[in-house]
Each structure stands twice: as structure tokens, then as C-alpha cells.
Amino acid sequence: MNTPLLQPLVAAALAMTAGTRAGEIVTRDLPAVPDIHGFAGAFTGILGHQFLAGGGANFPDGVMPWKGGKKVWHDTLYALDLSAPAEGWKIIGHLPQANGYGVSLTIKEGIVIIGGGDATRHFKDTLLLALTADRRLRFGKLPDLPVGLAQMSGALVGQRIHLCGGIDKPDATQAANSHWMLDLDHLETGWQILPALPAAGRILASAAAVDGVFFVMGGCSLAPDATGKPARTYLRDAWKFSSGQWTKMADMPHPLVAAGSPAPVNGRALFLVSGDDGSQTSLKNMEDHRGFSKEVLCYDTGADSWSEAGELTVPPPVTVAVTPWHGEYLFFNGEVKPGVRTPQVFVFTPPGLDGAAHE
């Protein structure tokens, strides 16, 4: 599928609106996506100075799922020129199919889109979204996943993509603890099976890469309830994979599900932004939900310790892909209450371990 980019890719300073600060946390607003609902589980990445986002799901009729609302998956692909963000988002094409809740990562050749799914199936596809010589969008094929997979976590460790967890079909009652790796320098080897996570299988965990180490944190495990439907157990364990083996990290202060992923990193620190801490799972009326956690957790990879870095001042989103950009991190939409998406887009500046903002 070839689609012309509507805005030129030009080298210029990144212009954004003034930031807000909560504790040590700094965010800056970017233009909202031109959809009144916004999307959860979208794919995002960078091509040149263009921030691309596409897919994901929402409830376009505004009716919540517990009232019979229909969740709809999308294929629209948007772009924001980061050298001229005031010009706003443009629709530049479509994904090959409606898709959401996979993993997307930016590499030097383009944006890798991995797995995902819709209401009826999960996909094996691994695609590379790139530009042709005449600056048109092109979807190239990379090796397929061994199984369809969605709601997994993943990160780029050097030239290797690591994935962990997920489910193979929408109604699965058990999450995987599988660990897959794709070596971008040796695509002919395809996705390789690496040692499985030595813990509960999980969905909606957060991943990160720091100094050649792959991290997997939180998420939730699944088991069938009395009616055979998937029931969630919220997790607070965290793990790292290095030199061919997994090592257990200090537990998080509390469970956290669907925080921004891959997690922002600054030096030896990584940050879990927002997430569902499970404190409102027993609500009888979802209309009473207060929104997800505003807290930003910091993990010091050298000290193996967690601390609170501050709070977001924007509505905290979950199920949101995170895209690195010049030492900062772009957050596109997400879910801010059960069933409720947001069109907000913001930039997160991770603080340093000494509290200083990233330079």
C-alpha cells in the first residue's frame, strides 16, 4: 500500500506548547488527534520528523461496553509534523487492516508493527512501515510471529526486538509467558524462542530496554472464572533478561497494568507512567471510576529499587504505546477510564535520578 505523505519532512526545531510540572514530572501538550473519542491500543512511531499513529480501538457511538456499546477497531493512519506541530494531524492513509493492541517500535529503517488483533482474531504479521525513494508510505513484510499475538509487551534491545507475554486469541483464558526475539541483523533466522519468563503468563505488562537489558514489569495474568470467561489477577512482580537468563527484580510498590510501554528511560532509570493499579476493580458501577493512576514510578536499575517520581497533570492514559523522540517520549491517546478513550497527545520528559530533568 503506497500513500503520499501530505507534509514534507523538514529539519527544524521541535515546537510544542508550554509544559506543566507535577513534582518532578514535566509534560507538554501536542495537538489532539482529530477524533472526538481518541484510540486505545494504537501503533505509533517516527518517520523523519513525522510522528505517525494508527489503528487502535474505541467505542464510537459513545455507549460504554457494560451498556451494550460496540468496541470498534480502526485502520486510519495519522501523521503530525513535529517540525510544525501547530499544523495539526493529517490523515495519510490506512493500515493494511483494522488492528490494535500489538507492539510498535521505531528503528532506523522505519516503524515495526508487530501482531495485534481485532474483535475476532489476533495477527501473526510483522510489518515495516517505511518511506520509498519518492516519499510514499510502504508496508514491507518482516518474518511472521509463530502465533497470532496481542496485548504482549516488547522493546528494542540494540538490534534485537524482544517480546514477552500476550494472548493468541481475543477470548483466551490464559496468557503466555513466552519470550520471542527477532534479530534485525539476521532476519533470515525469524522469530527465535528464548527462555520463557519464569513467572505467570501476562498481558498488558510494560517493557523497557536499558543498557542492553530487557525488562518486563507488572501486567495481569488470566484464568477462567466460574462461567469460563477470563478473570484477571493484577501483578506487581518485575523481571529482567540479560546474558540468556531471567533475574527477578524488586517487586513494584503495587500492581500496575497497561502503563505506557516501552517505558521511558533516562540513564539507568526507567519510568512507569500511569497504569491501572487495581484499586477500583471492585466498583459495582463503572460510572464511578475516578480514572487511572496519576503516579509515575521510577526504577533505578543500578540499585534495584522503586520510588515515586511524581504525578501527571494530564488525564493519565493506559494501553498507550510510547515513542522516544530526542530524549523525550511521545504519548498518543489511550484509555482514561473504562471504555473511555482520549484524543490527547503529550510529550513526557523523564527526570534524572537526582530529580533533574533530562537534557
Domains of the chain: 34-349 (2.120.10.80)
pLDDT category at 49 given cuts 50, 70, 90 is very high
Q: State yes or no: pLDDT of 349 exceeds 60.
A: yes
Which cell goes with 248?
527477578
Checking phi first, is residue 48 left (phi over 0); if not, alpha (psi -120 to 50) or beta? left
State how beta strands 57-58 and 50-54 pair.
unpaired
Q: Identify the pLDDT of residue 354.
A: 58
Residue 332 forms beta bridges with which residues?
345
Residues 6+ apart with CB under 8 A from 265: 208, 209, 210, 271, 350
**Measured CA distances, 300 to 150, 233, 308, 351 (Å):** 29, 26, 11, 12
Q: State yes or no: pLDDT of 116 exceeds 70.
A: yes
Distance in angstroms (rounded) separating the CA atoms of residues 257 and 239? 15
State how beta strands 269-273 and 76-81 pair.
unpaired
- Percentage of the chain lying above the pLDDT 70 cut: 91
Residues 6+ apart with CB under 8 A from 134: none
* pLDDT one-digit tens code per residue, 213-268: 999 999 999 999 999 999 999 999 999 999 999 999 999 999 999 999 999 999 99
Distance in angstroms (rounded) separating the CA atoms of residues 127 and 147? 15
Q: Do residues 102 and 43 touch, judged by C-beta distance below 8 A?
A: yes
CA 318 to chain centre: 9
